Amino acid sequence: MSVKRKRYSPQFKLDTVQAYEQGDKSIAQWERELGLAKGLLRRWRRGLLGASNPTEVFPGNGNLPESEARIRQLERENAQLRMEKDILKKVLRIYSKDAP
Radius of gyration of the chain (CA): 24
Structural domain total, the chain: 2
Q: Are residues 24 and 37 in the same domain?
A: yes
Residue 84 in domain: yes
AA identity, residue 55:
T
Q: With 80 as the cut, is the pLDDT of residue 76 above it?
A: yes
Q: Are residues 73 and 90 in the same domain?
A: yes
Residue 81 in domain: yes
pLDDT tier for residue 6 given thresholds of 50, 70 and 90 = confident
Q: Are residues 74 and 47 in the same domain?
A: no
Residue 44 in domain: yes
Q: How many CB atoms lie within 10 A of CB 73?
A: 10
Residue 2 in domain: no
Question: For residue 82, what are the domain limits?
Answer: 64-100
pTM reported for the whole predicted model: 0.53
Convert the pLDDT of each residue in 10-35 to its tens digit.
788 888 888 888 988 888 888 899 88
Q: Are residues 13 and 34 in the same domain?
A: yes
Q: Are residues 23 and 58 in the same domain?
A: yes
Positive or negative, the CA dihedral 91, 92, 95, 96 is negative
Convert the pLDDT of each residue in 47-60 to its tens digit.
888 776 666 666 66
